Structure 1
Amino acid sequence: MRTARTSWRTCALGAAALAALLSSTACNPGIADTKNPTTPTPAATPTTTPSTAGTAQPSATTGAGPSAGGTVACNDNDLSITTSVWRQDSGQHLLITATNFTDKPCTLYHYPYIGFGAVIDGPLDPMGSAPQAIATIGPKEKAYAGLFLFRGSERTVAVEAVSIGYQDRALHSNKESAMLDVALSKEIGSLSVAADARVTYWNRDLGAVEDLLFRSGTR
């Protein structure tokens, strides 16, 4: 149909320029569109044409946030961090929630650097694969990361605080920067952590984090 519409326009312009020389049958739209002899579709139809932009691979300039392109990396000065656990959980998981309390968007790249002070060496290795979109959060918006702390048969130690750090666009950037200690919520008290604990990538979709954490056998 797109080819037919182009032919029709070309013919119409020729007729306007050479009206004195061409016969009335020279610009018959039916000849230009023999397979689809209906009236050509108007040019303003972008809403019916699928956009190829949505199929691009994720990058540092794409994301789930309202202003994902070109946003700066989040840091300690942009975020409020809270920790929580799930009811009826065996204590094997911890949820980290980051809330942007500024008036500008920022991006939580890759996964958080997590440590437990001198108790367990950090940062923890990531679990699962990176999400389809980076976690860009606007003012008052949230992103999540989850910790898988131990398996039932693993030896654990008790910790009462979590250390957290943030990456820039480049994977593994800022790894030598100091991490900030975050006290656990009073409802949690302390955590049991194994040496092989893992952390998920940042994600604005809490359900995706939970699915990864609670999927049987995933680490």
Structure 2
Amino acid sequence: MRMRHIRLLAATGTAVTALALSACGGNGTGTKDEGASRSVSPTASSSSSASTGTQTSSGATAGGGTTGGGTANGTPVARTHGPVAKPGAGKTTGTGTGSSPVLCNGANTRVTAQPVTRPLNHMLLTVTNTGSRTCLLPYYPVLRFDEMQWAPQGAKDTQPQAVTTLQPGESGYAGVLLSAADGSGEGGTTGHKLTVMFQGRTPNSDGGPAATPALPAKGVYYDSSLTVTYWQQNREDALNW
């Protein structure tokens, strides 16, 4: 099974790991297998079409404000009046102005990671909005086990019609394929620490503080087949892919 991965730089500062991608094409896809010596790093452009997962906000000005409703994952989202995140911009910690949604991240959510028995070799990520504001989960989570230097690309066929949006108290989900059931994966190892990073309003931008959900004491086995879904509104969509 040939998987797509993105490069990931090591963390600096506190518990947050920065997203970093190296250019290779224009479709935001690539492959990386740290244990199998094969790598192609992806790139994503903020001017990409919606079919590649790019999110844009109509009416955006040079100052970052918006006057109309934007789009996310190629579909309309709530009207925003605050600044729109740009690639490489500073972290968004869950604050905002007015009634516009903020980004979901480690500062305003509770994140759990739970291996499941079905489908085989899968794990479920659950993000619950613990803040007082509606928050958005753009694209897919960027995962890092222990000190690994690559992260799985999101499975393109799981991209939802609209960006996953969580009201206070609501939960969103992502499914993780940990390893190939037929043993075709390479570089298998056991991870004992998981870092979940959040993307911003544009592909591969920093969405704010990461989360470090607990894993089972014995760890989680994964190989080069490691793949993650886009954030989903319900549990079934996250696992049935």
Q: TM-score, normalised by structure 1?
A: 0.59
Moved over 4 A (4+): none
Q: Distance in 1 between matches of 2:129 and 2:75?
A: 22
Rg (Cα) greater in structure: 1
Q: Distance in 1 between matches of 2:205 and 2:156?
A: 19
> Is 1:159 paired with 2:182?
no
Q: Which AA in structure 1 matches 2:140? A: Y
Unaligned runs of 5+ in 1: 1-56, 63-68, 213-219
Give how far 1:181 is off.
Answer: 2.8
- Where is the helix percentage greater, Structure 1 or Structure 2? 1
**Corresponding residue to 2:151 among 120, 123, 148:** 123
Equivalent residues in 2 for 1:6-17, closer than 5 Å = none
Give the structure 2 partner of residue 83 of structure 1.
Answer: 113
Q: Which AA in structure 1 matches 2:115? A: V
Preserved CA contact (<8 Å) 1:80 1:99: yes
**Corresponding residue to 1:93 among 122, 125, 128:** 122
Q: RMSD in angstroms over aligned alpha carbons?
A: 2.3
Q: TM-score, normalised by structure 2?
A: 0.54
Q: Per-residue CA shift, 1:115-167, capped at 9, x if unaligned? A: 1132x323321113310111110111000001111113124101112111111
> Is 1:59 paired with 2:76?
yes
Give the structure 2 partner of residue 140 of structure 1.
Answer: 169
Q: Distance in 1 between matches of 2:137 and 2:118?
A: 29
Preserved CA contact (<8 Å) 1:110 1:201: yes
SS class of match (1:111) = coil
Preserved CA contact (<8 Å) 1:60 1:169: no
Q: Which AA in structure 2 matches 1:192? A: Y
Identity %: 23
Preserved CA contact (<8 Å) 1:60 1:70: no
Q: Distance in 2 between matches of 1:88 and 1:209?
A: 12
**Corresponding residue to 2:103 among 54, 62, 73:** 73
Are the structure 2 counterparts of residues 185 and 82 from structure 1 closer, same or farther at C-alpha, using a change threshold of 3 Å? Answer: farther
Preserved CA contact (<8 Å) 1:116 1:122: no
Q: Which AA in structure 1 matches 2:213? A: V
Q: Distance in 2 between matches of 1:86 and 1:181?
A: 19
Q: Which AA in structure 2 matches 1:125? A: Q
Q: What is the count of residue pairs matched by the alignment? A: 145
